Amino acid sequence: MKDKKITPDKNEVTIISAGVVIEGKVASSGNIRIDGIINGDVNAQGNITVGEHGQIKGQINADNVVVGGKIFGTVNAKEKFVLESNSILNGDVITKILVISPGAKFNGNSKMSGNEIQNTSD
Name the residue ranges covered by the structural domains of the chain: 13-112
Residues 96, 115: contact at Cβ < 8 Å? yes
Q: What is the pLDDT of residue 11?
A: 74
What pLDDT, on a 0 to 100 scale, did the predictor assign at position 114? 67
Amino acid 113: pLDDT = 77
What is the secondary structure of 53-107 as a DSSP string? T-EEES-EEEEEEEESSEEES-EEEEEEEEE-TT-EEES-EEESEEEE-TT-EEE
The residues near 48 (Cβ < 8 Å, ≥ 6 apart) are 31, 32, 33, 34, 42, 60, 62, 64, 65, 66
| Sequential pLDDT tens for the chain (122 residues) | 555 555 556 678 999 999 999 999 999 999 999 999 999 999 999 999 999 999 999 999 999 999 999 999 999 999 999 999 999 999 999 999 999 999 999 999 999 976 554 555 55
